[in-house]
A = this chain, B = another copy of it.
Amino acid sequence: MRGYTHDKDRYLKRMRRIEGQVRGIARMIEEDEYCIDVLTQVSAVTKALQAVSLGLLDEHLQHCVAEALADGGEDAEAKVKEASEAIARLVRS
């Protein structure tokens, strides 16, 4: 079980939509569509992925990190450090 498991169907649905958007961008490039229009679609996919990341991160904090912290001990500190590093990657991507 993961923090997001209870909401898995919704995440899978979002990922399928993102996959379709990515295929759509390839089709635009295949058909020589205007650069700016392609860029607009890429920005839309980036935003959708960002929303998925923030959702997964929230679930992770609320469940995995929260449980580790409630139990206390060394694992808790490692879990917080790991979450901070994931947040840094997300901020810098």
Contacts and interface: CB of A to CB of B under 8 A. Distances in A.
Contact of A23 (B19, B35, B58, B66): B19
B39 A57 contact: yes
Interface in A25-47: 25-26, 29-30, 32-36, 38-40, 42-47
Q: Tell me the interface secondary structure of chain A in the complex.
A: helix
Contacts of A26: 12, 15-16, 19
A50 B2 CA distance: 29
A49 B49 CA distance: 10
Interface residues of A, number: 65
Nearest to A67: B69
B46 A3 contact: no
